[in-house]
A and B are shown apart, each in its own frame.
Chain A
Amino acid sequence: MKKSVYVVLTLLLVLTGLFIPSEEVAAEDGAALKRVQDEGVLVVGTSADFPPFEFYAEVDGERQVVGMDMMIAQKIADDLGVDLEIQDIGFDSLLPALEARNVDIVIAGMTPTAERRKSVDFSEIYFKTFQNIMIRAEDKDVYTSIESLKGLPIGVQSGSLQEGLAEQIEDAELMSLTSLSDLLLALKTNRIEAMVMQGPNAEAHAGNDEDLFTFVGEFEMEDDDAGSAVAFRQGEDSLVTAVNESLAEIAEQNLTDDYLVVAGEYMVQSETDEDGEEVETGFASDYWQYFWDGTKITLLISAVSVFFGLILGAILALMRLSKTALFRFFATAYIEFVRGTPMLIQVMFIYFASGMFFNLPALTAGIIAVSLNSGAYIAEIIRSGLNSVDKGQEEAARSLGMGKNDALRHIIFPQALKNIWPALGNEFITIIKESSIVSVIGVGELIFQTRVVRSISFQGILPLFITMMVYFVLTFSLTKLLNFYEGRMNHD
């Protein structure tokens, strides 16, 4: 046991050594700009739950991330002479993704706070904005100023500028959540009394939901805090210069006003089918495609991860039962380490760490992470299964002259499989549910799509309920299927 602790620690040290970013402070002589132009594509990270800046809408029958920021991104890409690729990632994960080279730049209505400037560089501010207070419409005569919110529970998006501003509300109890949709739901269900939101975003929501009301909050702000800017990795000055040129042009021609008008039209479009009476049917016909796409990705991740998890698990289990100490050692260290760390971190680690070396798509990174994780659990299940088969079975097979591998394959393994079937089924169901964790790196699975639907439909609870039902149908069908095969294996 002591030995394996040592191995795990050594492993950790080696890994962290590998992934600590080497500082690139040296003058880069246009390398960053050249890299983007050589690759012919600008990868922009954003968090598409922030209308009117970035959100999903149907464009020519296809769902895309649209909004003011995305039009700015398109303009920058055009000016650079490259294609634009947009990666939708949770707001919290944007800067890690940038530093890990998963994206080239971040455009997400992000404010260049002093805190953020420590880890990344920013362009000039391209959009000056104001900050709003969002409240329930029924409270609009009660809460009329920052002062009237004294001592109340206030919601803010975690890691946002508004989180800092909300501290100007005296004695406020802050509730920080990653998702604005969750915060709005918290507001509507009386968990919080108000939210601090970016101005145009707040107006977009209030304009689409009669239960909400918003007004401008008189926060004291530093100049830097007053707008949005594009974020870059430190030291990529050539890219910053190029982007600033595009932004200057945008400012000169007042293009942001035009962009906001276009974005507004997309928001109206996503509402056209709704008529007050038939919200439910309207909802299903409007958004079923999102749930269907998410379900497909969830099934894909689960199926592939179960497949590779089984292979990896079988290999690890055999290594743990091997006579070679080194194999036992490695397998034990791997299993203990993977079981002892949160899957959330594993997913982010694999995605961001791999980004430093090569461009691994988020879906692939997610599948790898889930497979590696479930492999460790499946290994323990298989090991217990192999141990559960009576010793006499192997002896009988060996006494007939069957080789070790034949005995394992034809005699031991089929019986082990029958014994561990319920535990394996449990693990498969866990994989279906836990695969939702990959939504943090922007994989469009079911939970991710639910977040999208909630942000564009301005509906808080209904999407959650639908998603819950979809998961239940998936896991329940799997249970039925597994039971069927369990019955077929039963010869008692």
Chain B
Amino acid sequence: MIKVNHLKKSFGKNVVLKDINEEFNQGEVVVVIGPSGSGKSTFLRCLNLLEEPTDGEVVFEGTALTGLKEKDLNELRQKMGMVFQQFNLFPHKTAQENLTIAPVKSKGVSQASAERKAVDLLNQVGLGDKVAAYPASLSGGQQQRVAIARALAMDPDVMLFDEPTSALDPEMVGEVLKVMKDLAQSGMTMVVVTHEMGFAREVADRVLFMDDGYIVEQGTPEHIFTQPTHERTQDFLAKVL
């Protein structure tokens, strides 16, 4: 579904991604782990071109995103939902409006059907009673669940999660992970950057370990968490587990 060839990214002189080759398949749940500054988030943001790669290409459903025209890129992005660390809900819109604005304005969905779908999705993430609430009145966990529902409102083929629980108070992490787990079980293709090793072990089909701009090691959760072969993977896991 997504194929990454020789992806490189630098910010000025700082080379963040050195040479990434990877493929994500339909229905797969891939969790990306690694120390801070290893390039995990940059890698994820390159997948939908929020960051413009310095070199290499990203191919999504057969189309190279790199070098696409603005309009075509927008259309493909509609199929790639993204969830941010800081939620990034639109504060001037209610939960429901957060879910309807993009489908109505960019996809041409009718207002009425977008609204119905928004209610369904909010119910699905357990926020059926917050349809008319503004983001400022919601807790962090609730906001992040609205953000997930907002991405789902576009009917994406893949969901990208950029450290979705890192900005949450500990007691709210569970509710967000639960929604993500349900989503994985429904067959959604997901790429998740996270520090939640429990989630990786339980839900992931495959775990990527990144360090210093490379994917150092990858495999099933069992392999990575019980018998990592690479020294840097062992070091990292020893610190976080």
Contact = CB atoms under 8 A, between A and B. Distances in A.
B159 to A, nearest CB: 11
Given A395-B50, A397-B102, A491-B136, A403 B74 contact: yes
Interface in B170-207: none
Contact of A489 (B50, B92, B151): B92
Given A400-B106, A403-B106, A415 B80 contact: no
A398 B48 CA distance: 10
Given A392-B86, A406-B106, A410-B105, A399 B92 contact: no
A242 to B, nearest CB: 67
B70 A491 contact: no
24 contacts: A392-B84, A393-B88, A393-B90, A395-B50, A395-B88, A396-B90, A397-B102, A398-B74, A399-B48, A399-B151, A400-B78, A400-B81, A400-B102, A400-B150, A401-B78, A401-B79, A401-B102, A401-B154, A403-B106, A406-B105, A414-B92, A489-B92, A491-B135, A492-B91
Nearest to B94: A491
A400 B154 contact: yes
A399 B81 contact: yes
B71 interface: yes
A247 to B, nearest CB: 70
**Top 4 A-B pairs ranked by shortest CB distance?**
A401-B78, A396-B88, A400-B102, A399-B82
B131 to A, nearest CB: 15
Interface string B203-229: 000000000000000000000000000
B101 interface: yes
Interface string B50-74: 1000000000000000000011001
A489 B93 CA distance: 10
Interface in A401-438: 401-404, 406, 410-411, 414-415, 418
A103 B210 CA distance: 79
Contacts of A170: none
Contacts of A492: 91, 134, 136
A399 B90 contact: no
Q: Which of A396, A399, A404, A492 has the most CB of B within 10 A?
A: A399
Interface residues of A, number: 22
Interface string B70-114: 110011111111101010111110000000011001110000000
A400 B90 contact: no
Contacts of A167: none
A398 B51 CA distance: 12
A215 B48 CA distance: 89
A390 interface: yes
Contact of A403 (B70, B86, B151): B70
Q: For the complex, would chain A's binding face be called helix, strand, loop or mixed by DSSP majority?
A: helix
A491 B133 CA distance: 9
A327 B78 CA distance: 31
Nearest to A412: B90
A406 B74 CA distance: 11
Given A410-B101, A491-B134, A399 B91 contact: no
Nearest to A393: B88
Contacts of B78: 400-401
B74 A415 contact: no
A403 B77 CA distance: 10
A403 B73 CA distance: 9
Given A395-B84, A396-B84, A410-B101, A401 B90 contact: no
A492 B89 CA distance: 13
A402 B73 CA distance: 10
Contacts of A397: 90, 102
Nearest to A417: B92
A400 B98 CA distance: 11
B71 A403 contact: yes
Q: Which of B81, B101, B154 has the most CB of A within 10 A?
A: B101
A419 to B, nearest CB: 11
Nearest to B75: A401
Interface string A457-492: 000000000000000000000000000000001011
Contacts of A402: 74, 101-102, 105-106
Nearest to A400: B102
Nearest to A404: B70
Nearest to A394: B88
B106 A401 contact: yes
Contact of B77 (A398, A404, A491): A398
